[in-house]
Amino acid sequence: MGNNPYSPHTEADRAAMLERVGVRDIDELLGAIPNDARHPKLGIGPGLSELEVQAHLERIAKLNTTAGSGPFFIGGSIQRRYIPAAVPVLALRGEFLTAYTPYQPEVSQGTLQATFEYQSLMAELLAMEVVNSSMYDGSSATAEAAFMAVRVTGRHKVIVATEVDFTYRRTLRTYGRGPELEIIEVPTAKLASSAEGAACLIVQHPDAFGSLVDVRQIADAAHAAGALCVQVTEPHANALLEPPGALGVDIAVGEGQPLGITMSYGGPHLGIFACRESLVRQMPGRIAGQTLDANGTRGFVNTLQTREQHIRREKATSNICTNEALAAITAAVYLSLLGPEGLRAAARAGVARAHKLANRLAALPGCAIANDGPFFDRFTLRTEMGGWDLRNALIARGIQVEATASHYYAGAKQTGKEPAQANAKPYVGGRREGRDDVIVQCTELTTEADADALVDAVAQLTRSGETVAAR
């Protein structure tokens, strides 16, 4: 008693339980375990009290610089956005937080209805016919979309744009090693002309650099070649941009984290997965559906389960079991609180602030915006300093941005303008072939003061040509 603070058994309980089982000691129940393997020394130290463990974690957390502690412009698929107070209060209620997968629908209507509502909200946002109840994250959803396209078309070649988030392409390549798919990366501009023989074309819009992409033309080219079009999307962008369902997209995937879910250094997040109704039987993951109970009352169940591993085993559409149901519920709470106008407002704020900031930065000597065309709520800043050097110098000033290492995006066509040569100083640093730039993400949390800090710092740095020693 007392070693596991959550174990309720007193020594008297244990004695009574052992007696009922008919043994004198728990060890008598362990006969199947090889003797020499029983009760190894683990070497993990003694247990702590709650107070001690809280203090211990607080000490470790202090070693981090949180996003909110200074101007913050890192974004991409994972974004720092405002989370209304009611979101965690509702989504983290114990009845959602500590429930399991709704295997018994009669006592799981909360989960099932909230999931059905998530699917409905997301279908409306994306203008897609069917949304599943979640994948792990945007990267695995993208890989699963490729696998689904392979099942639908019977082809093994997947074409993905170089301007798709590099972490998604890495996960896709890694997943593709399993069924030994041929995965080819081409610039977005060449996607349409690469469709021949492909299972799918994968495009991101807005892309990793923030640029807007003509998805419809890529979808048309895919369909003409008998391939599917997969779009990687971002939830807020769909409030203002024509959604995948209106662009001819067959499968839409993306990261749902910006919908009220904390960044938490990468997870747990929310893999969005949507498709045409005609493809639903090849869809991975759980789906909630509406039905009636024995009294004819409306209710919800997990449906189309013959796609899933617990029924179909090796013939399942995916191995996914645990998903991100709580994140889907969180996203639904967020969307229902913001409503259509709140979502548009949040999206608009990011777009407007990004464009204003880009104009200010582009006016600085030696700076240019490297996006080829229109961009959404992030953009690519090119200076005479390499992106990594600029980023590191900014971090030293308490400003966090992301650099686009050229090796992550080799071949991506973001030529843009070269910076003006006015204050050019010879660049000394570890720059490799291609250009390293900096990506600047804005959201409704980006303030004027943040923007001023970035503009001032970039102006100083590009004037001085300062470099920060690479680690």
Question: Between residue 200 and residue 219, which ones bind another protein under the rule CB under 8 A?
Answer: 212, 214
The one segment of 76-84, 222-230, 418-426, 448-456 that binds another protein by CB under 8 A:
76-84
Using only the alpha carbons of the chain, give its radius of gyration.
26
| DSSP assigned state of 99 | -
Residue 398 CB neighbour total at 10 angstroms: 13
The one segment of 176-184, 194-202, 410-418, 451-459 that binds another protein by CB under 8 A:
176-184
Amino acid at 203: V
Q: Which of residues 145-164 bind another protein (CB under 8 A)?
A: 147
From residue 39 to residue 68, the character string flagging contacts with another protein as x (rule: CB under 8 A) and all else as - is: xxxxxxxxxx-x--xx-xxx-xxxxxxxxx
Binding residue for another protein, selected from 194, 400, 414, 462, defined by CB under 8 A = 400
Least separation in angstroms between residue 422's CB and another protein is 26
Instruction: Indicate if the alpha-carbon torsion angle 177, 179, 184, 188 is positive or negative.
Output: negative
The one segment of 72-80, 187-195, 221-229, 361-369 that binds another protein by CB under 8 A:
72-80
Kindly state whether residue 24 participates in binding another protein, applying the rule CB under 8 A: no
Least separation in angstroms between residue 119's CB and another protein is 5
From residue 106 to residue 145, the character string flagging contacts with another protein as x (rule: CB under 8 A) and all else as - is: xxxxxx-xxxxx-xxx-xxx-x-xxx-xx-xx-xx-----
Residue closer to another protein (CB basis): 221 or 349: 349
Would you say 176 and 183 are in contact if contact means Cβ atoms under 8 Å apart? yes
- Orientation of helix 325-362 relative to helix 109-126, angle to 10°: 30
- C-alpha–C-alpha distance, residues 271 and 167, integer Å: 14
The one segment of 90-98, 196-204, 363-371, 452-460 that binds another protein by CB under 8 A:
90-98
Kindly state whether residue 9 participates in binding another protein, applying the rule CB under 8 A: yes
**DSSP SS3 for 8:** coil
Binding residue for another protein, selected from 187, 197, 226, 342, defined by CB under 8 A = 342
Kindly state whether residue 184 participates in binding another protein, applying the rule CB under 8 A: no
Residue closer to another protein (CB basis): 391 or 435: 391
What separation in angstroms does the CA of 433 have from each of 366, 391, 414, 424, 430? 20, 18, 14, 19, 10
Residue closer to another protein (CB basis): 94 or 426: 94
Residue closer to another protein (CB basis): 67 or 420: 67
Residue 256 CB neighbour total at 10 angstroms: 28
Q: Which of residues 306-335 bind another protein (CB under 8 A)?
A: 306, 308-316, 318-327, 329, 332-333, 335
Kindly state whether residue 426 participates in binding another protein, applying the rule CB under 8 A: no
Q: Which two tokens stand for residue 396?
A: 């030293």
Query: H-helix or E-strand containing 121?
Result: helix 109-126
Residue closer to another protein (CB basis): 294 or 449: 294
Residue 349 CB neighbour total at 10 angstroms: 19
What separation in angstroms does the CA of 442 have from each of 19, 294, 367, 425? 65, 51, 18, 29
